[in-house]
């Protein structure tokens, strides 16, 4: 029965006319369906009668005309070409098969075989109203908080390409990362002279380097597949590898399967074939490729395990990591996509980018997500709400014990205990348990909302600086400003509030600033240097004061480079998008130790000039808090 259904389905799929060489096609229907029941004759209506033609009657002696019998015509193929599965020809845009494939041949056919049989690629039509224009690509419109669509339309395409392609993705600032991400996912027009596909590819590539895999996928999926170029095909492979969602490639394989020609792309095609219902053929092809050495053995075994999850043709695949020396995005995506954990010995040497994937991947265990969440939160990938949600799940899972469960309990206490002293103690327990400065700042992101609920009281003035740093890490400026009447002038907390107060230019008392500088105990007075650079960029210091402090602290704020000239020029033009891209270019690095006060000054000043003063203040405050 299955074979009969398969044959019928193929006959419907190949909609061309079949030309079968037989004299009298015999119906397979029962006779009762061949001879319809007689119906009453309708009332005849007058009509013109045509004169009989010469062919109507053979002779006067034979009044009954011989009945014409039609017979199918089998037309020879051009050049006498024949196929093993079927013979076909094309005439006036129509295909005619001259031999019906056998059932055995049909069962072995793949979608590519059907395309070859038909003689052309299957086209999936999309209604014009459903097609998306390449004029503006992105997921965030201006009304939703994105940048204006024409922000870069008149910008020099070479400068845009340089700012995007040369950015390695690691930024020293959490708030700088968040602002750059917002610009990259905005629904923007390509600069004049740059192809829209190239502009989209540059943005998607940078999002991937930043660890923003979900944002990269969202921008990629805003482009219709028929507009994909080979570079977008490469990015699609990288994106779906990083998200462990290889089935996301299947729509691309169905319509743009020839974007690439390499072993990895072919193996991904075989995986998609399994998820289209032909798992037996897919697994057989993957096994042949494994034996032929098309890719490393571990790569092919992982592909077989992933493809084996589709259909009924399941196959036990044993994954052995003993001889594997390195981790790749392909291996990592297939590993977590099949519910396995990559070996710890390989992950210790792996890129930090895999940790960002861990923090975002829902199929990864809660412990591994928590272990990766600190670095992701400090980088700007995870928000305070996302961190709290993660630790709430850990608290609710009684099977999780140890440090992560202790942290979840401390976080709950920081939010729910009645006593302010007890809540502060719970937050301090989280901060003090951090193993390094990056994790320490991430824990302040975790407690930001709890810190915002603390009463602004002189009883807690000594702890005001870490509390304010925690609040500002999630943007609770209004809550932080409640402490302005409590903190001592010239104290560390005062320095943070001086940057986010927004009370106007030249508003900082230099005597208080001098006291801050004298009491600063950070290495090389970096906190004081960043505070002066930030205040100068916000216009809160006079020119003479800026020059004096720059000389006293050896900041060289008046110096210039090609980068400072470019960002200052963009700010003068009011070009917010270019300022953000150049900000990201200038903030590259693994820690704030890589940032100079001069660059911070130009970034803060440029952002303020183009109407992003809120972001400028938060970046400056972060610099001081993390220095």
DSSP string, 362-392: TTS-HHHHHHHHHHHHHHTSS-HHHHHHHHH
Between CA 172 and CA 596 the distance in angstroms is 11
Query: Tell me, what's the pLDDT at 20?
Result: 36
Between CA 239 and CA 256 the distance in angstroms is 16
Task: Report pLDDT digits (tens) over 81-114.
Answer: 444 444 444 444 455 555 677 777 766 676 666 6
Burial label for 199, CB within 10 Å (0-12, 13-18, 19+), is buried
Between CA 111 and CA 102 the distance in angstroms is 17
Strands 94-97 and 88-91: antiparallel
Q: Is the pLDDT of residue 78 over 60?
A: no
Q: Is the pLDDT of residue 139 over 50?
A: yes
Q: Is the pLDDT of residue 30 over 50?
A: no
Q: What's the whole-number mean pLDDT along residues 415-434? A: 96
Query: Tell me, what's the pLDDT at 105?
Result: 74
The encoded tokens of residue 205 equal 């590539």
Task: Report pLDDT digits (tens) over 391-413.
Answer: 999 999 989 999 999 999 999 99
Q: Which residues contact 417 (CB under 8 A, 6 or more apart)?
A: 423, 426
Kindly report the average pLDDT of the chain as a whole number: 85
Top-confidence residue, 329 or 32:
329
Between CA 290 and CA 123 the distance in angstroms is 32
Candidate from 74-83, 171-180, 214-223, 304-313 with smallest mean pLDDT: 74-83
Q: Is the pLDDT of residue 280 over 60?
A: yes
Task: Report pLDDT digits (tens) over 426-472.
Answer: 999 999 999 999 999 999 999 999 999 999 999 999 999 999 999 99
Residue 616's alpha-carbon distances to 18, 181, 560, in angstroms, are 71, 15, 20
Query: Tell me, what's the pLDDT at 255?
Result: 87
Query: Tell me, what's the pLDDT at 97?
Result: 58
Q: Is the pLDDT of residue 196 over 50?
A: yes
The encoded tokens of residue 20 equal 């079968």
The encoded tokens of residue 544 equal 């003479």
Confidence of residue 59 (pLDDT cuts 50, 70, 90): very low
3-state helix, strand, coil in the chain (%, to 5): 55, 5, 40
For residue 447, how many other CB atoms are within 10 A of its CB? 30
Between CA 304 and CA 287 the distance in angstroms is 8
Candidate from 104-113, 239-248, 541-550 with smallest mean pLDDT: 104-113
Q: Is the pLDDT of residue 70 over 70?
A: no
Extents of the domains making up the chain: 130-212, 245-360, 367-467, 488-626
Strands 17-18 and 88-91: unpaired
Query: Tell me, what's the pLDDT at 132?
Result: 85
Query: Tell me, what's the pLDDT at 262?
Result: 92
Task: Report pLDDT digits (tens) over 585-624.
Answer: 999 998 999 899 999 999 999 999 999 999 999 999 999 9
Nearest to 583 by CA among 113, 291, 74, 172: 172
Confidence of residue 124 (pLDDT cuts 50, 70, 90): low
For residue 554, how many other CB atoms are within 10 A of its CB? 10
Between CA 381 and CA 442 the distance in angstroms is 11
pLDDT-above-90 percentage for the chain: 69
Confidence of residue 19 (pLDDT cuts 50, 70, 90): very low
Return the bridge partners of 588, or none: 171
Burial label for 438, CB within 10 Å (0-12, 13-18, 19+), is middle
β strands within 241-381, DSSP E: none
Nearest to 269 by CA among 282, 281, 279, 280: 282
Task: Report pLDDT digits (tens) over 516-541.
Answer: 999 999 999 999 999 999 999 999 99
Angle at 372 between CA 369 and CA 378, to 5 degrees: 125
Q: Is the pLDDT of residue 63 over 70?
A: no
Between CA 73 and CA 85 the distance in angstroms is 20
Task: Report pLDDT digits (tens) over 332-389.
Answer: 999 999 999 999 889 888 888 899 999 999 999 999 999 999 999 999 999 999 999 9
Between CA 343 and CA 339 the distance in angstroms is 13
Top-confidence residue, 557 or 85:
557
Between CA 236 and CA 622 the distance in angstroms is 34
For residue 543, how many other CB atoms are within 10 A of its CB? 9
Confidence of residue 118 (pLDDT cuts 50, 70, 90): low
Q: Is the dihedral of CA 153, 158, 159, 163 positive or negative?
A: positive
pLDDT-above-70 percentage for the chain: 79
Task: Report pLDDT digits (tens) over 493-515.
Answer: 999 999 998 755 557 999 999 99
The Cβ-side half-sphere exposure at 440, using a 13 Å CA radius, reads: 11
Residue with tokens 């809540």: 423
């Amino acid at each position: 029965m299955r074979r009969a259904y398969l044959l019928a389905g193929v006959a419907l799929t190949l909609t061309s006319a079949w030309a079968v060489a037989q004299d009298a096609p015999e119906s397979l229907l029962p006779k009762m369906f061949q001879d319809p029941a007689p119906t009453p004759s309708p009332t005849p209506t007058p009509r013109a009668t045509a004169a009989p033609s010469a062919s109507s009657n053979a002779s006067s002696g034979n009044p009954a005309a011989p009945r014409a019998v039609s017979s199918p015509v089998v037309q020879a193929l051009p050049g006498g070409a024949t196929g093993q599965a079927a013979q076909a020809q094309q005439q006036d845009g129509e295909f005619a098969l001259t031999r019906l494939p056998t059932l055995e041949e049909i069962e072995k056919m793949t979608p590519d075989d059907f395309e070859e049989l038909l003689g052309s690629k299957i086209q999936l039509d999309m209604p014009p109203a459903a097609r998306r224009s390449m004029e503006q690509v992105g997921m965030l419109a201006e009304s939703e908080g994105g940048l204006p669509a024409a922000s870069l339309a008149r910008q020099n395409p070479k400068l845009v390409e340089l700012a995007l392609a040369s950015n390695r993705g690691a930024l020293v600032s959490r708030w700088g990362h968040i602002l750059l991400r917002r610009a990259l996912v905005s629904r923007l027009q390509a600069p004049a002279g740059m192809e829209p596909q190239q502009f989209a590819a540059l943005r998607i590539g940078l999002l991937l380097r930043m660890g923003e895999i979900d944002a990269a996928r969202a921008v990629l999926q805003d482009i219709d597949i028929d507009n994909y170029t080979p570079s977008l095909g490469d990015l699609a492979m990288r994106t779906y590898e990083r998200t462990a969602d290889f089935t996301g490639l299947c729509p691309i394989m169905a319509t743009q399967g020839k974007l690439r020609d390499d072993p990895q792309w072919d193996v991904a095609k075989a995986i998609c074939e399994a998820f289209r219902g032909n798992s037996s053929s897919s697994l057989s092809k993957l096994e042949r490729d494994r034996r032929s050495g098309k890719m490393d053995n571990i790569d092919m075994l992982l592909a077989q395990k992933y493809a084996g999850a589709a259909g009924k043709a399941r196959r036990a695949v044993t994954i052995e990591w003993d001889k594997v020396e390195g981790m790749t995005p392909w291996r990592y995506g297939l590993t977590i996509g099949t519910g396995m954990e990559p070996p710890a010995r390989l992950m210790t040497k792996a890129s930090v980018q895999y940790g960002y994937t861990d923090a975002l991947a829902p199929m990864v265990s809660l412990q591994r997500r928590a272990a990766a969440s600190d670095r992701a939160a400090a980088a700007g990938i995870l928000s305070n709400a996302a961190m709290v949600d993660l630790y709430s799940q850990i608290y609710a899972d009684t099977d999780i014990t140890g440090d992560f469960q202790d942290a979840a309990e401390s976080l709950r206490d920081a939010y729910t205990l009645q006593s302010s002293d007890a809540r502060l103690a719970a937050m301090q327990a989280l901060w003090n348990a951090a193993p390094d400065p990056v994790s320490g700042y991430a824990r302040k992101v975790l407690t930001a909302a709890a810190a915002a609920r603390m009463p602004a009281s002189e009883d807690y003035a000594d702890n005001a600086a870490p509390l304010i740093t925690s609040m500002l890490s999630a943007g609770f400026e209004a809550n932080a400003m409640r402490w302005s009447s409590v903190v001592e002038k010239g104290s560390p907390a005062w320095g943070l509030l001086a940057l986010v107060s927004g009370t106007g230019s030249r508003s900082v008392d230099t005597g208080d600033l001098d006291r801050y500088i004298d009491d600063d105990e950070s290495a090389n007075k970096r906190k004081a240097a960043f505070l002066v650079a930030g205040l100068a960029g916000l216009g809160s210091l006079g020119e003479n004061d800026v020059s004096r402090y720059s000389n006293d602290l050896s900041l060289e704020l008046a110096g210039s480079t090609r980068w400072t000239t470019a960002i200052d020029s963009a700010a003068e033009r009011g070009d917010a998008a270019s300022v953000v891209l150049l900000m990201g270019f200038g903030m590259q690095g693994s820690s704030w130790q890589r940032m100079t006060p001069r660059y911070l000054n130009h970034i803060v000043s440029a952002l303020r000039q183009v109407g992003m003063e809120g972001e400028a203040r938060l970046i400056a405050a972060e610099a001081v808090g993390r220095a």
